[in-house]
Amino acid sequence: MLVTWIKRIVAVLVLLLVVFGIVYALMPAPVGVDIATIGRGPLEVTVDEEGVAEIRDVFRVSAPIAGKLNRIPLHVGEEVVKDKTAVASIQPVEPSLLDARTQRELQAAVDAAKAAVGLAEAQLKSAEASERLAASDLDRAKQLAETGAISARALEKAVTDLDTAHAAVEQARANLALRQSELASAEARLFQPGDIDKGADGNCCVPVLSPIDGVVLTLLAESEQVVAAGAPLVEVGDPRNMEVVVHLLSSDAVEIRPGATATLTEWGGEGELNAHVRRIDPAAYTKVSALGIEEQRVDATLDIADPYEKWEGLGHQYRVMAHIRTWRGGDVVQVPVGALFRRGADWQVFRVVGGKAVLTKVLLGHRNNRSAEVLSGLGEGDTVVLHPSDRVVDGVSVTARENES
């Protein structure tokens, strides 16, 4: 009888173990999740946008006169000194090439000018002969006047005749000079390219000097060429006078004020650079993003606060990443943004309580790309699920996933 009861008890125990195993096998396993603990600490909110480093005052040097530009001897990056370094030199252009008809017309004008010179020379000789005759008549008139052979009026007439002859000589000389100048002008119009020796004429070139101390940024007209007055030649600027222009979304620009602090990263050098906002442009412009979306952008201008020696490698039109601070809290409760998700108009998280995920509504304040300020719903020391998957629902059992080493 005792053996029978023992057998029955063993059979019941085996049956219970089988049932327990089946139930345990059918029970859902806890979902492995990443968790984070809610803590307190400083929180900083920034607007993060790409920017461009630019020299504040870029000087575009232009040709002061029209002429032939000699090849610019400078290279990009070379230093220039104000009013000393010649960034370019301009010499007169060669005369235009004459066709046969124009050349014959100008040659005829030269021949006419030569004839006019010959006529003027003959007129001068005639005037000089008349002057000599008048001088001789005056001498005889003086001798006769001393003896009383002629009247005083006849003597005065002889003097007047000499003065008139002298004036005629001066007029003839002036006319000769005029005709000689006309001949030179006519001969000059006959010059062909290569006929003029500029070095011999002392008319070599006009130097164009740098307006500032700085470096050459761009060569706008490097090779030898003919340029018009006002043609751009080079761009120069002072690399110490650097600013950063950031293209902000208009919605972000509203939150920023002049004087706001900022940091510059990804500029190519070591560490971060300190900067502050100098100006926010009052007008926006439309810019199409890489996704084809039209955006209203506003330019913010930042001044670098660190000494030049720290960022001297930063050049004109270099890319930087700007982080402009809009708010800072010294000691706030904060939750990682990876734990947040939307349900309707509310922010919610899965809080871990007793090994289960509990759906919890939270009220948020300021936030950045990493953390958000918690106003209500969570407290310091609470644990939340990071990046919950679709397997995590309200009330499901969860277990902390082991971090892979």
Which amino acid does the sequence have at 388? Answer: P
- Chain-centroid distance, C-alpha 54: 6
CA-CA distance, 174 to 179, in Å (whole number)? 9
Beta bridge partners of 386: 34
| Residue 264 CB contacts under 8 Å (≥ 6 apart), including other chains | 51, 244, 272, 273, 274, 275, 302, 304, 320, 321, 322, 323
Over the Cα atoms of the chain, what is R_g?
49
Between the two ends of the chain, the Cα-to-Cα distance in Å is: 61
DSSP element (H, E) containing 248: strand 242-249
Reported residue count of the chain is: 405
pLDDT tens digit sequence for 133-152: 888 887 887 887 777 777 77
Question: In whole angstroms, what is the distance from residue 211 CA to residue 141 CA?
Answer: 74
Distance CA 401, CA 378 (A): 22
Find all residues with CB under 8 Å of 360, minimum gap 6, and list them: 348, 349, 350, 351, 377, 378
Digitized pLDDT (tens) for each residue of the chain, 405 residues in all: 666 767 677 677 777 776 666 655 555 677 788 899 999 999 999 999 999 999 999 999 999 999 999 999 899 999 999 999 999 999 888 777 778 888 888 888 888 888 988 998 999 898 888 888 888 887 887 887 777 777 778 778 888 888 888 898 899 899 999 989 988 888 888 877 766 555 445 456 889 999 999 999 999 998 899 999 999 999 999 999 999 999 999 999 999 999 999 999 999 888 899 999 999 999 999 998 888 889 999 999 999 999 999 999 899 999 999 999 998 888 899 999 999 999 888 999 999 998 889 999 999 999 888 899 999 999 999 999 999 988 888 888 888 876 543
CA pair distance 296, 87, nearest whole angstrom: 40
**Left if phi > 0, otherwise alpha if psi is -120 to 50, otherwise beta: which for 386?**
beta
pLDDT one-digit tens code per residue, 339-380: 999 988 899 999 999 888 999 999 999 988 889 999 999 999
d(CA 74, CA 87): 7
Q: Could you tell me the sign of the dihedral formed by the alpha carbons of 377, 383, 384, 389, in that order?
A: negative
Q: Which residue has the tokens 């926010």?
A: 280
CB 120 within 8 A of CB 172: yes
Query: According to the 3-state scheme, what is the secondary structure of 151-182?
Result: CHHHHHHHHHHHHHHHHHHHHHHHHHHHHHHH
CB atoms within 10 A of CB 333: 23
At 196-241, the pLDDT tens digits run: 555 445 456 889 999 999 999 999 998 899 999 999 999 999 999 9
What does the alpha-carbon distance between residue 163 and residue 226 come to, in Å, rounded to a whole number? 56
386, 36 contact by CB (below 8 A): yes
Residues 6+ apart with CB under 8 A from 228: 63, 66
**pTM greater than 0.75 (yes/no):** no
Closest CA to 53 of 279, 322, 329: 322
Contact between 317 and 53 under an 8 Å Cβ cutoff? The reply is: yes
Rounded CA separation 61/211 (Å): 8
**Which residue in this structure is represented by tokens 């100098």?**
278
Q: What percent of the chain has pLDDT over 70?
A: 91
Strand order in the sheet with 225-227: 206-209, 86-91, 67-69, 225-227
User: What is the tally of helices (H) and strands (E) in the chain?
Assistant: 6, 22
